[in-house]
Structure 1
Amino acid sequence: MTHPDPMTEPEADPSVGRGAPPRPQSLMLSFFGIHVLGTGTALPSASVIDAFARVGVGEDAVRSTLTRMVGRGLLERHRRGRRMYFSLTARAAEVLADGEERIQRTGAVNRAWDGTWTLVGFSLPESWRSERHDLRSRLVWAGFGPLQSGLWVAPGRVDVAPIAAELGLGDRIRAFHGEAAAPTEAGPLLRTAFDIDAIAEGYRIFLARWGDGPVPAEARDDLGRQLLLHTDWLDLVRRDPYLPAEHLPGEWPAARAEALFRELAARFAPGASRIAEEILDRWEPAGERTD
């Protein structure tokens, strides 16, 4: 599996997933992931505006987010008569499919770690700030944390070749698989490379936001609740490097949070599907595109 651009740039926005309202682009990615991914269809801006009104996002914010995402190569724009439709690009579909894989099949708790680590070393010139940022963002997405200057680590076997190839940094990156040797121990290594307390706090905030009591007030119906729930959860999953359970603190909150997510996702899905059928004007573009 490749590890494409996470697009939400977790390094650049640490507040996401810690109680801050989701950004419009995060909501948009979740929305297209739920309702467009795998269908080959496009949606008109009017349908998107209608859906986002159900989570308190106004028309101007929706239109500017759609335009920005077209500019970033995440959405394609199609004209059909007087209406403008939007579909996922191949790049965005790849990222969303990876997120769906994490949500549906990987799970939030790693109970099958075999003791193997992946190490990545790199050295980039100081002037390569953009390349360094892109590399770090992709390493975070792939589950790596910084161990020391120029050396990153992830539990398990991670295929680093697609990252290096995508960024054109194959001659600047060195990758290794292996096991830790004394005096290095897994627990302290994890705490050095990853902010375990912050990861746990993200899950606790999710539990507080979606647990006992009313769902977030900005969600007006099941479509809105589904959108906010999936956005919150995917932001958490994207920031969780899937650390081995045996080396995490007791009462690790990820399992409880995942159970709550799945319960609520199943509860909201039927109503959200009915509303989506009513308001989403789907269309299958035949290659038309308006740049």
Structure 2
Amino acid sequence: MVQPQTLLLMLFGDFVLDRDVSVFSGSVIDVCARLGISEHATRSTLTRMAGRDLLRRTKQGRRVYFGLTERSTAILRDGRTRIWETGAVNDRWDGTWTLLSFSLPESWQRQRHDLRSQLAWAGFGPIQGGLWIAPGVVDAQQIVSSLGLDAHARVFHARAGSLTDVDAMIRDAYDLGALAARYEAFLARWDGPAPLSDPLAIRLTLTAEWLEAIRRDPRLPVEHLPPDWPAKKAQQLFRELERQVGKAETSLETI
């Protein structure tokens, strides 16, 4: 089940991103009603998102408007890149791996958790101990530097030698079952009659659920994945449905 915050981000991504406008809260409430989200839940979500620096709040008289922040703009642009540029199918891998090795003091539990979380988000998987890998060239140095851990980590780019069983290494470093399950769930929900009737609700929910499916996918090379890997079929379905739905029209009051 997609959270209201994700659906609201999809709404702002469709109608606000790169436009430098803010949307009247009443318009957001009207759209969310079409998504099955109550007025109370919408208002609560807007307030939480403003508190998390995902939306900026502006008052004009008695009306409240919401716009994107630098943080939410970056998130939405990253999502746009993942959906339309990188995609879910890595069939052009050049054999390069990014390796990151780190060693942190035992007492640094928070730093260790933050680093592992950001590495997983960037497509890394653990091989052993403090050694993580990701396919392709990944800017791991930026992750390390952003956490102030430059003195505790090393980044390399390399290719696997002939003695390395890449298929086995991938199975050890990544939970392939969990990755495949996300795509299988997407196919089960959307490969057939649309689960919703409102065109705008379909578009926003479709995009939100697709992004949920791909956002933590490390884009592993297809030649080292099972032949029935569901990402390719799921991506084809998403793009076909997105073309069919098109850019849904709605009336949003903006400033």
TM-score by length of 2: 0.94
- Which shifted more, 55-64 or 243-252? 55-64
The letter of the residue matching 2:144 is: A
Question: Following the alignment from structure 2 to structure 1, what is the Cα–Cα distance between the partners of residues 159 and 65?
Answer: 50
d(CA) in 1 for partners of 2:128 and 2:63?
52
Matches within 5 A, 1:97-112: 97-112=77-92
Separation of aligned partners in 1, 2:64 and 2:188: 39
Give the structure 2 partner of residue 232 of structure 1: 209
1:220 deviates by 4.3
Q: Structure with the greater relative contact order (CA < 8 A, sep ≥ 6): 1 or 2? A: 1
Following the alignment from structure 2 to structure 1, what is the Cα–Cα distance between the partners of residues 106 and 194? 47
Q: CA deviation at 1:156?
A: 0.7
The alpha carbon displacement at 1:111 in A equals: 0.9
Post-superposition offset of 1:124: 2.9
Structure 1's 196 and 74: CA in aligned 2 closer, same or farther, altered over 3 A? same
* Map of 2:127 onto structure 1: 147
Aligned to 1:95: 75
Q: Distance in 2 between matches of 1:91 and 1:253?
A: 32
**Distance in 1 of aligned mates of 2:85 and 2:58:** 33
Change (3 A) 1:126 1:43: farther
State the Cα RMSD in Å.
Answer: 1.5
Query: What is the percent sequence identity of the aligned residues?
Result: 52
C-alpha deviation, 1:125, in angstroms: 3.4
- Measured in 1, the distance between the counterparts of 2:234 and 2:36 equals 25
Count of aligned positions: 255
User: 5 Å matches for 1:188-207?
Assistant: 188-207=168-187
Give the distance between the partners of 1:245 and 1:65, measured in 2 at CA: 38
Aligned partners of 1:54 and 1:220 also within 8 Å: no
Partner of 2:254: 282
SS of equivalent to 1:239: coil
Matching of residues 1-291 of structure 1 within 5 Å: 21-212=1-192, 214-216=193-195, 219-270=196-247, 272=248, 274=249, 276=250, 278=251, 280-283=252-255
- Supply the distance in 2 between the matched residues of 1:225 and 1:260 (Cα, whole angstroms): 14
Could you tell me which residue of structure 2 aligns to residue 14 of structure 1?
Answer: none
